[in-house]
Structure 1
Amino acid sequence: MILTTTESVEGKHITAYLGIVSGEAVQGTNIFKDFFGSIRDVVGGRSGSYESEFLEAKNAALAELEERAQAVGADAVIGVDLDYQVLGGDQKMLLMVAANGTAVKLG
């Protein structure tokens, strides 16, 4: 399965457009990551714990996108777009990643 942000796949012909597919992932952080993340807010620097949560959520959303594309018989998903949201309030943070694209058949 090819996932690409471009509108075509180089060297391949798109023979059919199968529709928009999407994958979503909502990842909760825990109290320790929130605590250490708040320390990073004060002292500065990168927060490795949050970065790993975003990476995990992104990978989960892309895996779900690919699964849904395979379910409709696609060979590729073009025009993949990733959207990130941070949900929650002072007590808990949720990270949401949505991946969207167009499922296509290639020839």
Structure 2
Amino acid sequence: MILTTTNSIEGFKITDYKGIVTGVAINEKKLAMSFSMSKYYKTVQEGIDATKETAFKTLTENAKKVGANAIVGIKVEIELMASNYAMVSVTGTAVSVA
């Protein structure tokens, strides 16, 4: 599966547009506050990284379900919710390329 934030893939031709696909994930662990800001930032970063990977996995699975072999125009949104949970939403256009 080819993933890109651009609207085209150099060396490939988009042969079919399958539709918009998404992947959303919420960090399962609450981001605990800490007296050490560096420890807090490290915890936030690790939580976001893990959540982002889960969101991309879901995005890829959803694209495969519609018969795509690539996703173009990917946008990533990261939100730290008021309850100290991280949410990552990934959206793109599932396509077939040759």
Q: What secondary structure, in the 3-state scheme, does the structure 1 residue paired with 2:81 have?
A: strand
Q: Give the TM-score, by structure 1 length.
A: 0.83
Q: Aligned partners of 1:67, 1:16: CA distance in 2, in Å? A: 18
Asked if residue 85 in structure 1 is aligned to residue 53 in structure 2, the reply is no
- Tell me the distance in 1 between the aligned counterparts of 2:17 and 2:39: 44
How many aligned positions are there? 98
Aligned-residue offset at 1:39: 3.0
- Give the % identical residues: 34
In the TM superposition, 1:1-107 aligns within 5 A as: 1-30=1-30, 33-36=31-34, 38-40=35-37, 47-89=41-83, 93-107=84-98
- Which protein has the larger Cα radius of gyration, Structure 1 or Structure 2? 1
Secondary structure, in 3 states, of the residue corresponding to 1:77? strand
Unaligned runs of 5+ in 1: none
Dislocated runs of 4+, deviation >3 Å: none
- TM-score, normalised with respect to structure 2: 0.90
> If each structure's helix is expressed as a fraction of its own residues, which one has the higher value?
1
